[in-house]
Structure 1
Amino acid sequence: MSRVELIRAILSRLDENVAVDWSKTAEGTPTRYAIIDDLLPEEITRRIHGCFPPQAEGFRVLDSFREKKRQAFDLSNRPELLADIVYALQSKPVVERIGELTGIEGLDGDPTLYAGGVSMMLPGDFLNPHIDNSHEATRRKYRRINSLFYVTPDWVESNGGNLELWDDKVSEPVTIVSTFNRLVLMETNDRSWHSVSPVVAGPPRCCVSNYYFSEASPNGEEYYHVTSFTGRPEQPLRRLWCSVDNAARLFARKALKLRRRADAGYVQGRAQAEA
């Protein structure tokens, strides 16, 4: 299936979900979301999954007290289908349709994959509760939506590795299972605490991640913050350390004008998106 055909298939499935209730939030949380199951024909999604390398060979490993996962931004040396699904979800027709579904005006993609791409999580991997970086690389646009497409066949809740949406106090999560062939659209703002529960079993959890932006602030006010982590409810010391770490990284970005390390995918992204 070509990139154009993927775009058509995604648009068709989105059209079947015109009644998506973006006004609802996860119970007890401030985060709006939508779930679209069976995004693509099952055979195609299985082929996409087959493009991920066994045990995440060649993926960049992020391993700290904040998170442990494996990700790739540079898709130039990956199977063509893997790049095609990433950039199909970044295509203008798909982003515009998602903007219509969610009612967010002026929604744009990010072909540089500043924070998007593909990720894999193995047993022991996790992503602690956090609020995403408020902007894209140029800091001109606010991050508005996370698009998460899960492609691991037969994934079950007991494997862990599931999306969690938290209340303002990060005390109680709502779990969204990383079900095969499921697309989750999740709002991001300065209150949208979310995490990925530790993976405890199963094959690598594979996800295609994209992020959408707009010039308008989610809350109508100007703000900026780095990706800000905290501990889980049972991790009080980690919460304390995360608050110090968040402040230090924000100071480095704002006062010292430091930016997160550029990845090769940032350079490759535009060329691949236009291919």
Structure 2
Amino acid sequence: MMPATVVGLDAMNARLPELRERYRSAQPFPHIVLDDVLVPDAFARAAAEFPSIRDPFWKGYLHVNETKYANTQPDTWGPTLTAAAKEFVSDEFVAFLESLTGIDDLLPDWSMDGGGLHQTLRGGHLNIHADFTTHHVKESWSRRVNILLYLNESWAEEWGGQLELWDREMTAPQAKVRPAGNRMLIFTTSADSFHGHPDALTCPEDVARRSMALYYFTEGLSPVRKATNYRARPQESVTRRVAIAADRGVLALYDRAKRRLGVSDEHVSAALERVNRFRRKK
């Protein structure tokens, strides 16, 4: 039988004054790392339920700036993963986030726009970026807070995959978060909350970097709409910088098409998968 709660929210609420101060003073932008977010038995079940690497519901986002897969359909998830996601969109958890971040009237998003379950395989990466700023369907919704719950049963440091948090000038990472199991990163999303894991993973072929992501929004009359802003690191070659910028431009066009024409992620994912298979054969 599923327990009444799978998220250890009571323990987090008991530490709210301390957590709030740590969150708001963190650099390079407001964030906090919390361990043991799910109760132990629930984490073990959630990790066991995580879809296999070849599960048919994965959609690939495979291009210059990222190589990852997403499942945005909670009805295909196991019961513990679904229960955890439901608690993360509950009034109680949203109230915790509002108190932690100082952002009122947060709106959770069960449609998983940009969120859901994510996996990145050996050789995969996610270039440094600031997230797109508004919901693709509810365009009056501005993206304000991101939570990432890591669901790896084990993760060796030498495999890479640390999430790097960069300053707004893109001079250097100011913090790094290892994707340890049952660890959550919460951060304020803005036009310059640059983050990513840009170096190729070196985990074994049968291991994936696994997480659940959810976003929280506020509603406004005229939100500023920007596509995902990928950035080059200072050490990138000229060729690499050109590729990152060109890919960013193509994705910005896709972002506009998705909003205005209703272009499907599924169609784009299938096309990118075919291109990626061709590229890997070369």
What TM bracket, shorter-length normalisation? 0.7 to 0.9
Task: Give the CA RMSD over aligned residues.
Answer: 2.5
Change (3 A) 1:228 1:56: farther
Trace 1:1-275 onto structure 2 (pairs within 5 A).
2=2, 4-6=4-6, 9-18=7-16, 19-20=18-19, 21-26=22-27, 29=28, 31-58=29-56, 59-137=58-136, 138-173=138-173, 174-197=175-198, 198-202=200-204, 203-215=207-219, 222-236=223-237, 237-250=239-252, 253=255, 257-259=260-262, 261-262=264-265
User: In the alignment, is the contact (CA less than 8 A) between 2:165 and 2:196 conserved in 1?
Assistant: yes
Aligned residues: 256
1:79 deviation in Å? 1.6
1:3 deviation in Å? 7.6
User: In the alignment, is the contact (CA less than 8 A) between 1:10 and 1:94 conserved in 2?
Assistant: no
Q: TM-score, normalised by structure 1?
A: 0.83
User: In the alignment, is the contact (CA less than 8 A) between 1:147 and 1:183 conserved in 2?
Assistant: yes
Change (3 A) 1:250 1:119: closer
Give the secondary structure class of the aligned counterpart of 1:5: coil
User: In the alignment, is the contact (CA less than 8 A) between 1:46 and 1:151 conserved in 2?
Assistant: no
Task: Supply the distance in 2 between the matched residues of 1:68 and 1:52 (Cα, whole angstroms).
Answer: 19
Listed one character per residue, the Cα deviations across residues 38-72 of structure 1 (whole Å, up to 9, x for unaligned) are 11222221210111133242211221101001110
Q: TM-score, normalised by structure 2?
A: 0.81
Change (3 A) 1:261 1:167: same
Task: Supply the distance in 2 between the matched residues of 1:239 and 1:135 (Cα, whole angstroms).
Answer: 26
1:147 deviation in Å? 0.3
1:234 deviation in Å? 3.1
Q: Structure 2: any 5+ residue segments left out of the alignment? A: 268-282
Moved more, 138-147 or 208-217: 208-217
1:156 deviation in Å? 3.2
User: In the alignment, is the contact (CA less than 8 A) between 1:156 and 1:177 conserved in 2?
Assistant: no
1:117 deviation in Å? 0.8
Q: Which of the pair is proportionally richer in helix? A: 2
Paired AA for residue 234 in structure 1 = Q
Change (3 A) 1:252 1:39: closer
Task: Supply the distance in 2 between the matched residues of 1:46 and 1:181 (Cα, whole angstroms).
Answer: 9
Structure 1 moving runs of 4+ over 6 Å: none
User: In the alignment, is the contact (CA less than 8 A) between 2:101 and 2:188 conserved in 1?
Assistant: no
Task: Supply the distance in 2 between the matched residues of 1:36 and 1:143 (Cα, whole angstroms).
Answer: 21
